[in-house]
Amino acid sequence: MDTTDPPTVPARRKVTVTDRRSGAGVPFVEVTLSDSPGARGPVPNAPVLLYDTSGPGSVPTEGLAPLRLPWIVARGDVEEIEGRRPTRRDDGRAAERRDGDGGMGHAPGGGRRPLRSTGAPVTQLAYARRGEITSEMSFVAVREGVAPEVVRDEIAAGRAILPANVNHPESEPMVIGSRFLVKVNANIGNSAVTSSIEEEVDKLTWATRWGADTVMDLSTGPDIHTTREWILRNSPVPIGTVPIYQALEKTDGRPEELTWDLYRDTLVEQAEQGVDYVTVHAGVLLRYVPLTATRVTGIVSRGGSIMAAWCLAHHEENFLYTHFEELCEIMAAYDVAFSLGDGLRPGSIADANDEAQFAELRTLGELTEVAWRHDVQVMIEGPGHVPLDKVAENVTLQKEVCHEAPFYTLGPLTTDVAPAYDHITSAIGAAVIGMHGTAMLCYVTPKEHLGLPDRDDVKQGMIAYKIAAHAADVAKGHPGARAWDDALSKARFEFRWEDQFALAMDPELAREYHDETLPAQPAKTAHFCSMCGPKFCSMRISHDIRAFADERGVDATTAVELGMKEKATEFRAAGGDVYQEPSPAR
């Protein structure tokens, strides 16, 4: 498996399609195809445009250009503020002890001062509800190939979110909702045991290069604040976090010492940095904790168990629940979206769809309504580990109790028995739950349950999940989704090997695998594949039928139906040409 940037694939290039409304260039990858053979000469194939998340590319120390800043400013509803002053503590105990500068010098991005609402909510939901089509929405409409009104209406109805913190102007707008392409999130982040800032920025770039639609920074190790700053300034995709992780670092790992004030301060810190959505485990209620006691795997969500520990230690209700309205006010002031966390998600097949899980889900539905009252965008997190026969129920119930807010699931894994292959156990569940209407899939890497993903794990996880998401798009009949499959299959059928590689999700690996069996250059133009070899190729017969029809000037079906007898004679006469061993270069 390659872990370096693959060489450029000549037939692929980044292009932009101008969104007339915002004037912005919407990014795509254009795949140029060679001609198809035709009876009367070559027939051109239109280039294929693929959705592209890799961004314009950045020098990490400088960060990306603030694409959305003019749009944000033009709306006239935010102001520069002094902002909360970062402290050593934000970077965790290691930084406090070290009293150093956080590891990588000053953060990129030119030290912009944070923006905040001057009063009213500055969320895409608020704008959509007012009937406005923002530049972000029109950008997304071009990206998804739909009318901007569709984007606006789906957001206004709460069925989609457009995560776009006013302090993350570098992000290219994208939308998460069941009417749109299924999205994939990649988790990165350091932990107490591994990783540096450089590595995390590199993982971010690497993940978006393989199609990550959003990235969550789940760092729990040193330099949390600084790492996140570097990630945000270099990220062309929305960034999500779980603020309770950083808050816990500030209490030195003691959940019982967490307070609402500390959490609020951490959320403001992150909102001012530009985090686009945050996982909030506000549905882990005190009374639900006992429901997990008889599970095979108890509570496996880190955030869920932090809040459960807090509830038990204080015998009080979850402060994220009791302070939820205040949370909403902060979120609305920066347009941070909620990702309402499933702290009680099942951690094993045995625990799927149980009372604890669904009790929390119902609470998330109530909180969705609260958030919406504050014009805050909401998506809902889902499992986890679920056997295939119980997957659909998750979506059905989520849609019902959460009023069609977008669903965002972790897999689910469809079996527990294959650690080291959980990108596969879960891609199965992800594709199925995606087909049923889940809007975003959180990837799982081969290291799940075992360790922290490295660069190649990020790639393996991304590829498995882009497959799951695309399989779901095709199954849902998303307009245009199947065009990619059809273009590749047509290229395959016509032995246009270079086109097949260029259209592949991983062009370089496809070519490498082909070359292992048939390395010579002529094999790339061969009218056979390495499966059957040159002697008899199963796909040739269909070409012969078509060629015969073309010569007669009729369609293929008619040709065969009307002219079977003649065709039989033709075939026998042409036999030498059709079935004898062609030279490999043919």
Site for a copy of itself in 387-416 (CB under 8 A): 387-390, 414-416
Supply the angle between the helices 260-273 and 243-250 in degrees, to the nearest 10.
120
Q: Which of 503, 147, 126, 182 is nearest to 334 (CA)?
A: 126
Min dist CB 512 to a copy of itself, Å, is 8
Which CB sits closer to a copy of itself, 260 or 493? 493
Min dist CB 29 to a copy of itself, Å, is 13
Q: How far apart are CA 506 and CA 347, in angstroms?
A: 31
Q: Which stretch binds a copy of itself (CB under 8 A): 33-41, 61-69, 121-129, 480-488?
A: 480-488
Min dist CB 538 to a copy of itself, Å, is 4
Q: Which of 134, 142, 152 is nearest to 51 (CA)?
A: 142
Does 212 sit near a copy of itself (CB under 8 A)? no
Which CB sits closer to a copy of itself, 163 or 240? 240
Question: Contact with a copy of itself (CB under 8 A): which of 3, 18, 87, 517?
Answer: 517
388: amino acid identity, one letter: L
Min dist CB 220 to a copy of itself, Å, is 7
Q: How far apart are CA 63 and CA 109, in angstroms?
A: 5
Min dist CB 50 to a copy of itself, Å, is 9
Instruction: Return all residues near 496 (Cβ < 8 A) that are at least 6 apart.
Output: 33, 34, 36
Instruction: Return all residues near 506 (Cβ < 8 A) that are at least 6 apart.
Output: 463
Question: Contact with a copy of itself (CB under 8 A): which of 29, 278, 282, 518?
Answer: 518
Q: Hunting for tokens 């660069």 — which residue is that?
A: 455
Min dist CB 168 to a copy of itself, Å, is 27
Which CB sits closer to a copy of itself, 15 or 504? 504
Does 312 sit near a copy of itself (CB under 8 A)? yes
Using CB under 8 A as the binding rule, the residues of this chain from 214 to 273 that contact a copy of itself are: 220-221, 248, 253-256
E-strand spans in 417-466? 440-442
Question: Contact with a copy of itself (CB under 8 A): which of 451, 524, 527, 550?
Answer: 451
Which CB sits closer to a copy of itself, 125 or 472? 472
Number of residues that make up the chain: 586
| Tokens representing residue 517 in the block | 């069996």
CB-neighbour burial class of residue 315 (10 A; exposed 0-12, middle 13-18, buried 19+) = exposed
In the shown chain, the binding pattern of residues 319 to 358 toward a copy of itself, with x for contact by CB under 8 A and - for none, equals: ----------------------------xxxx--------
Q: Which stretch binds a copy of itself (CB under 8 A): 54-62, 97-105, 267-275, 289-297?
A: 289-297
Q: How far apart are CA 586 and CA 485, in angstroms?
A: 26
Q: How far apart are CA 305 and CA 517, in angstroms?
A: 51
Q: Which of 201, 242, 197, 198 is nearest to 55 (CA)?
A: 201
In the shown chain, the binding pattern of residues 189 to 208 toward a copy of itself, with x for contact by CB under 8 A and - for none, equals: --xxxx--------------
Which CB sits closer to a copy of itself, 359 or 418? 418
Does 428 sit near a copy of itself (CB under 8 A)? yes
Using CB under 8 A as the binding rule, the residues of this chain from 366 to 385 that contact a copy of itself are: 385
Using CB under 8 A as the binding rule, the residues of this chain from 69 to 98 that contact a copy of itself are: none
The three-state secondary structure class of 479 is: coil
| Tokens representing residue 312 in the block | 């038990």
Q: How far apart are CA 213 and CA 230, in angstroms?
A: 18
Question: Contact with a copy of itself (CB under 8 A): which of 115, 142, 224, 289?
Answer: 289
Min dist CB 325 to a copy of itself, Å, is 25
Integer-rounded Cα Rg, in Å, for the chain is 26
Question: Contact with a copy of itself (CB under 8 A): which of 75, 112, 449, 527?
Answer: 449
Supply the angle between the helices 197-209 and 224-233 in degrees, to the nearest 10.
30
Which CB sits closer to a copy of itself, 260 or 513? 513
Q: Which of 349, 522, 330, 326 is nearest to 425 (CA)?
A: 349
Question: Contact with a copy of itself (CB under 8 A): which of 173, 240, 446, 461?
Answer: 446
Supply the angle between the helices 455-476 and 197-209 in degrees, to the nearest 10.
30
Does 294 sit near a copy of itself (CB under 8 A)? yes
Does 120 sit near a copy of itself (CB under 8 A)? no
Using CB under 8 A as the binding rule, the residues of this chain from 524 to 563 that contact a copy of itself are: 529-536, 538-543, 545-546, 549, 555-557, 559-561
| Tokens representing residue 381 in the block | 């997190």
Q: How far apart are CA 263 and CA 426, in angstroms?
A: 32
Min dist CB 263 to a copy of itself, Å, is 15
Using CB under 8 A as the binding rule, the residues of this chain from 484 to 513 that contact a copy of itself are: 484-486, 488-490, 492-493, 500-501, 503-506, 509-510, 512-513
The secondary structure of 229-280 as a DSSP string is HHHHHT-SS-EEE-HHHHHHHHTTT-GGG--HHHHHHHHHHHHHHT--EEEE
